[in-house]
Structure 1
Amino acid sequence: MAEQNTEAKLKNQLKREKVQLWNPPYTAADGQPGQRHMQELAERYAPLLCLSAPEVGAALESIRAQAVKRGKGNKTFRETNVATVELLLPRDSKKDPKTKDHLETRLDVLVQEVVDRIGEEYGLKYIKLILNGKTLCADQRLDEQGVKNHSKMMVLKVSDAELKQQLSEEEEKKKNQNESIQRTQKGFQILSERDGSEDPDTTPFLEIADQRGNPLKIPHTEKKALILAMGFHEKGRSLMKKKQFDNALCHLLQADQQFSKCGSALLGSVDNYAVLQLDIVWCYRALEALSCLDDGKSRLQRAEDCFLQCYGEQQQRLLMIKGNTGREEVLFLRLYLLQSLLSYLEGNDAQARHQLSKVESLYSRLCLDSEKMAQLMTLGFTEREARLGLRACQGDLQEAAVHISNQRQEREELQQRERQKRSRRMEVISTLTELGFSRRDAATALHHADGDVDKAYALLYLGFEREVSEAALRLTGGDVQSATQLLLDNQGVLSPELLSMSPPSTSSSSSSPSSEEPSTSSSSAADNELVNEVLEDISRHEEDYLDLTLDEESELIATMKTYLDRGPTHTV
């Protein structure tokens, strides 16, 4: 980390002075360094960085060698179309921690070919390639997915190779990360199609709620994408807690892909998207892949913008909704800490110190008294409740106890209202089935009629084919009256031209079986088994994402202080 900081400062200085290390007198015709001129440069820059001349000399030579190699790579690419890409390998796969790993390849080859080469050269059996936060598809070419000469590609291990050797072939398949992602996607797609009208005791159901826990009304297509995004995010967070950062990152990037299908207005009203960006960069940090500077920087900026939009200036909107901002401050601590780290890696020590001072101020407020925690837990509160309660009440023990009790009561009242709401929906569906309609059609009609039994009955009474009715509802954005009129105008038959206007599926992979829309009343044993499997990764507490012990953050703060304390007090 210190080497990257030193090189960044030197590059800035060289750029200001327009010094080109790859040209004479710093590089000779044979590509070797011009020793005397490099030595003079090192001695001149050493006092500016408060480092010894040999240290600066070594950093300058590293920059010079990289520049010469890049120049050769450009020449090779122009003459042969063979590109040079930098590989950001897992830490335990690097042959030499101090050198960068490169791969020469044409860009018109399939990603799978490059995956096989990397696997063979570095002894990696199951890997994925990541470019700017996006997973490269194995069956597409490099250039089709944005890979260029000198691109940096992150190499992620799919799962532990030693563990795979011990597993049987069938178990290996089940544990495979791609299988995990597919099962997660299918499970949450089933959930995204359910409307809460089934028996709550036998059929799990997800509701998207605001910061108070009240259900949000969201367009159907966006709801599907949002549930998938939140499902992948929760699975990724679960893996992060187990320190399986490679696997976690794969799931988090899937969540990011699904969030991109949601409208900006929706993303601005919930903080999930901002938290996801933080989690992705936190995984980059854990995997020591902060060479992905540009992607990390843009993600942190998106997180900050989203928090501002969601919480308001000075967090007034959050204060109005929740009555306090103490619990959410852990998110800002992590944001500022990652910004400090990235500033340091860019060679901007002043900005790194500024952000770190904000981090330390927050940390002093959020670091909790263990005795107060113990007292609350003896009152019957969980460790999570105690931690969140004390942070919400700025460490006041009595206020925290009252706050936690009030939250428990509010949560119980909300759950009771939701149970009553689902019970009423089931009663209405039963009434419609008694009139001769199938339970499946009744549930679908009620869902599209927003719970209005008269509209649902009108839609069912018209007697149109269910598939045609659903197509008409898709074409009219779920508007029952417009859908009914459309069907009446076309005598209950929709032409292929009209049907072709239906909006595309929100599935991320239209060719996979999981992209087919399950019926809203589907409750088969296989579906429920899959749904229950993915629900295991969803925390039962809506503020689990705020329940950070700050142990990892504390370690990184100490590391940052160590690096900044030994550096100069100004930026070159």
Structure 2
Amino acid sequence: MSHIDNIFTQVRARLQSEGVKLWEEPYFSEDLGCIEGAMENLAAEYGRFLGIPSDRCYFVLTELQDNALRKLAARREFNATGLATFKVRRIDNRGGGGTTTMQDVKCDLNSLGSDLQAAIAAKLQLPDSNHVKCIAAGKMVASNATLASQQLKNNQQLIVIVTGRGDNQNEALYDRINRIKADVEAVVSSQNQLMEMEDQNGSPVFLPPDENRALLTGLGFCEKAKVAMQREDFEEALLLLLEADERFATCNSQLLEKVDNYALLNLDIVWCYLCLKNVTQLPDAERRLSICTRSFRRSYGENFERLYSLKESSGRSI
């Protein structure tokens, strides 16, 4: 987390603990707008309490106030027109900067995912909306389903990966993702075989053919994602991991609880969020880390008892 992000976190937590509402008086008036004197006094008070320069505190407070006012305006517009506002943050990892500036994009919740892609492409001045990949709450937004059916909400934050923008690097990413997906699915189809699996206790796990195919395809995407992560191409890795996550989601939840692969998938997704410096997906990261914790506890015991037992039985030193 950067220094300024840390200040935002501290100031936001302080505001919440004291129940301060920056969009109401004495800090804001519908007639006068931002009341600078009250904001400056609050910045000085918080600066002393948190050990932060008052000018930085003031900057953070005004940014938080602007964000709150934009949310209120978006809520009023949604209630009046049904038009939802999405906070879109585009990932651009080429310069090592992680994510770029957040922008507002409006779209009706009854519209298809493809309509949202088109709106984002227009906002970002991109020629082809098919190259826009939207991620909401850790899931890829499907282009052929409505936003409402995918549980998207007004004022929700989205991250966007642009896989083609007219330059060679992004065009290569778009083509590479499609080629990898086609190759993995072709390999799974051509082998036409069932995968033999065991749970943490070494007992066989029998899968219906459809689940077996979905799991094989998901594991194939995971392996390709690991290669991308090794070369620090976290945009590609995240897209492939989310494709794998969609395949795993079609499997029985009890099956996913019996194998470590799903936990490792979630851990890799969180790692990609971190490397892309994407704080907008923190709630999804927390959810996925909880899945990892539960799975690893089942696999290795609360205090790694099963891991130690396996090492002792193999004759290896602990």
The aligned counterpart of 1:41 is 42
Within-5 A mapping of 1:172-321: 175-191=175-191, 193-194=192-193, 207-208=196-197, 216-221=204-209, 222-321=211-310
22-31 or 37-46, which deviates more: 22-31
Report if the CA contact (8 A) 1:318-1:324 is conserved.
Answer: no
Per-residue deviation, 1:123: 3.9
CA distance in structure 1 between the aligned counterparts of 2:32 and 2:111, rounded to whole angstroms: 31
Report if the CA contact (8 A) 1:230-1:255 is conserved.
Answer: yes
Per-residue deviation, 1:317: 1.0
Structure 2, unaligned runs of 5 or more: none
- Percent identity between matched residues is 27
Amino acid at match of 1:34: I
Structure 1 residues 141 and 166: alpha-carbon distance in aligned structure 2, compared to 1, 3 A threshold: closer
Say if 2:78 is the partner of 1:77: yes
CA distance in structure 2 between the aligned counterparts of 1:98 and 1:276, rounded to whole angstroms: 26
Structure 1 residues 121 and 324: alpha-carbon distance in aligned structure 2, compared to 1, 3 A threshold: farther
Higher RCO (CA-CA < 8 Å; seq separation 6+): 1
Report if the CA contact (8 A) 1:128-1:158 is conserved.
Answer: yes
Structure 1 residues 159 and 270: alpha-carbon distance in aligned structure 2, compared to 1, 3 A threshold: farther
Report if the CA contact (8 A) 1:278-1:300 is conserved.
Answer: yes
Report if the CA contact (8 A) 1:185-1:232 is conserved.
Answer: no
CA distance in structure 1 between the aligned counterparts of 2:143 and 2:50, rounded to whole angstroms: 44
Say if 2:102 is the partner of 1:100: yes
CA distance in structure 1 between the aligned counterparts of 2:292 and 2:53, rounded to whole angstroms: 39
Structure 1 length-normalised TM: 0.49
Structure 1 residues 68 and 273: alpha-carbon distance in aligned structure 2, compared to 1, 3 A threshold: same
Amino acid at match of 2:46: Y
Structure 1 residues 136 and 216: alpha-carbon distance in aligned structure 2, compared to 1, 3 A threshold: same
CA distance in structure 2 between the aligned counterparts of 1:287 and 1:279, rounded to whole angstroms: 12
Amino acid at match of 1:4: D
Residues matched between the structures, number: 309
Encode CA deviations 1:488-547: one digit per residue, 9 max, x unaligned. Answer: xxxxxxxxxxxxxxxxxxxxxxxxxxxxxxxxxxxxxxxxxxxxxxxxxxxxxxxxxxxx
CA distance in structure 2 between the aligned counterparts of 1:48 and 1:20, rounded to whole angstroms: 18
The residue matched to 1:84 in structure 2 has which SS?
strand
Decide which structure has greater strand share: 2
Encode CA deviations 1:109-165: one digit per residue, 9 max, x unaligned. Answer: 222222123223324441211111111111222222111110111101235742269
The aligned counterpart of 1:135 is 140
Structure 1 residues 31 and 11: alpha-carbon distance in aligned structure 2, compared to 1, 3 A threshold: farther
Q: Which runs of 4+ in 1 moved over 6 A?
A: 164-167
CA distance in structure 2 between the aligned counterparts of 1:186 and 1:30, rounded to whole angstroms: 63
CA distance in structure 2 between the aligned counterparts of 1:148 and 1:238, rounded to whole angstroms: 34
The residue matched to 1:194 in structure 2 has which SS?
coil
Per-residue deviation, 1:29: 1.9
CA distance in structure 1 between the aligned counterparts of 2:189 and 2:308, rounded to whole angstroms: 34
CA distance in structure 2 between the aligned counterparts of 1:93 and 1:104, rounded to whole angstroms: 27
CA distance in structure 2 between the aligned counterparts of 1:50 and 1:40, rounded to whole angstroms: 15
The aligned counterpart of 1:20 is 21
CA distance in structure 2 between the aligned counterparts of 1:42 and 1:63, rounded to whole angstroms: 12
CA distance in structure 2 between the aligned counterparts of 1:30 and 1:283, rounded to whole angstroms: 45
Say if 2:87 is the partner of 1:86: yes
Per-residue deviation, 1:48: 2.0
CA distance in structure 2 between the aligned counterparts of 1:17 and 1:6, rounded to whole angstroms: 17
Structure 1 residues 319 and 160: alpha-carbon distance in aligned structure 2, compared to 1, 3 A threshold: farther
